[in-house]
């Protein structure tokens, strides 16, 4: 990556961490509260952990819009994120976060497939 590119990323990350902690998770690219309210309780609790842990370095839109619906694929991703320096994600956190990601992405892709059908 070019120096200019990494500087840009540094600026974006700084801007994101400055806004971190303020406002609802929807502002960090997360789900609107109405949608969180519709989740089964265990998944909603996993979502809250996800919103807290996975929004530190990028917006939640990044995982929420990722084209991943395969459980083992998500497992590799979450493990990769967990290993980022200073991620603050424990193996137990990762397991819980995975339950939300699998639930959410399977449903989202299923919905998209239905909408794509004539
Ligand atoms: C310590 C910082 C950090 C944390 C915490 C973090 N990420 Fe990331 N994430 C990154 C960086 C850096 C990248 C871009 C580089 C890469 O793809 O490895 C990234 C990229 C991604 C991508 C896109 C990868 C692609 O190929 O487009 C996804 C999806 C993602 N993260 C999901 C998550 C999830 C889910 C969590 C919570 C379990 C999380 N991240 C937590 C730093 C982090």
Ligand 1 within 6 A of 62 CB? yes
Q: Is 97 in contact with 81 (CB distance < 8 Å)?
A: no
Is residue 68 very low, low, confident or very high in pLDDT (cuts 50, 70, 90)?
confident
Is residue 91 very low, low, confident or very high in pLDDT (cuts 50, 70, 90)?
very high
Residue nearest to atom 30 of ligand 1 (CA): 63
Count of beta carbons in the 10 Å neighbourhood of residue 9: 12
| For the CA of 85, the nearest atom of ligand 1 | 1
Least confident window among 11-15, 29-33, 62-66, 113-117: 11-15
Cα–Cα dist 40/42, whole Å: 6
Q: Is 18 in contact with 61 (CB distance < 8 Å)?
A: no
Nearest CA among 82, 78, 46 for reference residue 63: 78
- The more confidently predicted of residues 55 and 4 is 55
Measure 38 CA to ligand 1 centroid, in angstroms: 26
Mean pLDDT of 10-21: 46
Tokens linked to 70? 């395969």
Least confident window among 44-53, 61-70, 80-89, 90-99: 61-70
Tokens linked to 105? 């992405």
Instruction: Give residue-wise pLDDT tens across range 22-53.
Output: 345 566 789 999 999 999 999 999 999 999 99
Assess whether pLDDT exceeds 70 at residue 14.
no
Cα-based distances in Å from 43 to 54, 63, 104: 15, 16, 9
With b for 16 or more beta-carbon neighbours within 10 A and e for fewer, the 41-54 pattern comes to eebeebbbbbbbbb
Assess whether pLDDT exceeds 50 at residue 4.
yes
């Amino acid at each position: 990556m070019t120096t200019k590119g990494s500087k840009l990323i540094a600026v974006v990350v700084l801007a994101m961490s400055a806004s971190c902690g303020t406002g609802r998770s929807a502002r960090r690219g997360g789900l609107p509260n109405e949608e969180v309210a519709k989740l089964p309780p265990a998944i909603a609790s996993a979502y809250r952990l996800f919103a807290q842990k996975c929004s530190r370095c990028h917006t939640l839109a990044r995982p929420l819009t990722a084209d991943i619906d395969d459980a083992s694929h998500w497992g590799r991703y979450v493990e990769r994120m967990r290993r980022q320096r200073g991620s603050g994600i424990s193996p137990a956190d990762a397991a819980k976060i995975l339950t939300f990601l699998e639930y959410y992405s399977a449903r989202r892709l299923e919905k998209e497939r239905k909408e794509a059908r004539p």
